[in-house]
Amino acid sequence: MARYSGADDTATAAAYADDVFDVIRRGQERTTDAGQRVALAAQPRLRPATAQVRSAGLRAPADGATECPATVSCEWIPAPYEEFGDGDYGNHDLGDRPASQSIKYIVVHDTEGAWDGVLNMVQDPTYVSWQYTLRSTDGHIAQHVKAKDVAWHAGNWYINAKSIGLEHEGFLTDPDTWYTEAMYRSSARLVKYLSKKYGIPLDRQHILGHDTVPGTTTATIPGMHTDPGPYWDWQHYFTLLGRPLRATAGPQGGLVTVAPRFATNKPLFTGCVTAGEPCETHGSSAVRLYTEPSEDAPLVKDIGLRPSGADSTTGVNDLGSRVSTGQQYAVAGRDGDWTAIWYLGQKAWFKNPAKQPTAVNASGAVVTPKEGLAEIPVYGRAYPEKEAYPEGVPAQSVSPLPYKLLAGQKYAVGDKVPGEYFYAPTFDTTPHRVVRGTDMYYEIQFGHRVAFVRAADVRVTPSA
């Protein structure tokens, strides 16, 4: 079975064989997109001869240059840290994480390109960088930037400074070709390893999609990325991470976790091949939001994406009116088969029938504006107050986004974090500083993307 994997190294081959025999022991069934049911009876007493891998003629795992678990195939293809031009350098910053600043997030990307071209890009000093690339065919991993260093991948400097970026080979509009089981499993093994090493919680406020990274200012919101897209199977991914998404409270829990059944949840999207034309019907992690409890109602609007107030669309890259599997939101109302949540400062409705739910009940902490405040600002980064910056480090503006968190609304809480800014203006690391303030922030699930609010502006209460 290890040889059948097609891998040429023991780590990948053994992991593949272990996965196959695990499925055989447990049994499995699935209904395909074509409606065919495939079932495999469990054989719990099966005991594979794992020692055979050692005599399969495969190469040993790579040397210790990489930061990968032993259960994956991993090689070191470094991104360049070098100067070019007048004061320019690339394509990442040297750091000392987690000693200098904590690593809070893992960002899941897709490459929107094929393996060879992507590796060429990450080795270009004039381009951007990320920590790891995962190959579609077999889940093979290339590491480019050490975890201690800051890669340029998320489009938000605060998130870059606090995260590790994983690029998955593929295109978000063609998931069946690119989002393979081998890549999902290899990615999950890597994320579990990084989570344990750096203390990163395995939830959707720490395991971010690139599409959930917030814009830094109002002007940057329309240009933020949308990968890995609505066809990335977050439910399956979190099951592989050992954190399957289930109900954790009763109907009065006050929160919901978005959790549609991927194979049967098939919202209409457009623009996968031709703008405005319907995409091929496919299972999805996305759930669409409406202004009223009816599919005939308008979709909710995102004034950050469309300051003019124009309507949201069903475009595959339009995040204005949808939520994603694993995300948690505060319940704002219920009406028959419909559930309302607080979303971007407004009440948003999604269909959630009891016989085929698209969300399950949960509980936790939520934030709401302090008494006497009609509204509070929302931010795309948690930067320190002006007084925290030492001489020689320019103070960064704390610029609010165009949204407001209104009195009476509630939003699910992630971490409480100090304002922090990584100052890295030059190739020479001598002037680099991590500026940490006394102002505290809460990360919240605000819309499709996460956001931050000042702790001084809110009170934290149990969702129930």
Convert the pLDDT of each residue in 59-93 to its tens digit. 876 667 899 998 898 999 999 999 998 889 999 99
Q: Tally the domains of the chain.
A: 4
Pair (254, 351) in one structural domain = yes
Single out the residue of 138, 116, 120 nearest to residue 129, CA to CA: 120
Element (DSSP H or E) covering residue 39: strand 37-40
- Identity of residue 5: S
Q: Do residues 260 and 350 share a domain? A: yes
Kindly compute the dihedral angle of the four CA atoms of residues 424, 454, 224, 82, in this order, to the nearest 10 degrees.
10
Structure tokens at 205: 């406020």
Q: Which domain holds residue 111?
A: 73-223
What is the Cα–Cα distance from 61 to 459, expressed in whole angstroms? 50
**Are residues 170 and 125 part of one domain?**
yes
Pick the last residue of a domain from 188, 223, 258.
Answer: 223
- Tokens (6 digits) for 366: 């939520």
Question: Are 407 and 376 contacting, i.e. CB atoms less than 8 angstroms apart?
Answer: no
pLDDT for 445 beyond 70? yes
Q: What is the pLDDT of residues 143-200, one digit of tens each?
A: 999 999 999 999 999 999 999 999 999 999 999 999 999 999 999 999 999 999 999 9
129 and 202 assigned to the same domain: yes
Residues 81, 54: one domain?
Answer: no
* Nearest Cα to Cα of residue 383 among 197, 226, 214: 214
215 and 136 co-located in one domain? yes
Are 109 and 200 within one domain?
A: yes
Give a yes or no: residue 235 inside a domain.
no
Could you give the C-alpha distances from 112 to 46, 129, 170, 178, 282, in angstroms and in order? 40, 14, 5, 10, 19
Model pLDDT for residues 307-359, shown as the tens digit of each residue: 999 999 999 999 999 999 999 999 999 999 999 999 999 999 999 999 999 99
Closest CA to 234 of 175, 281, 290, 315: 175
Q: What residue has token string 């040297």?
A: 94
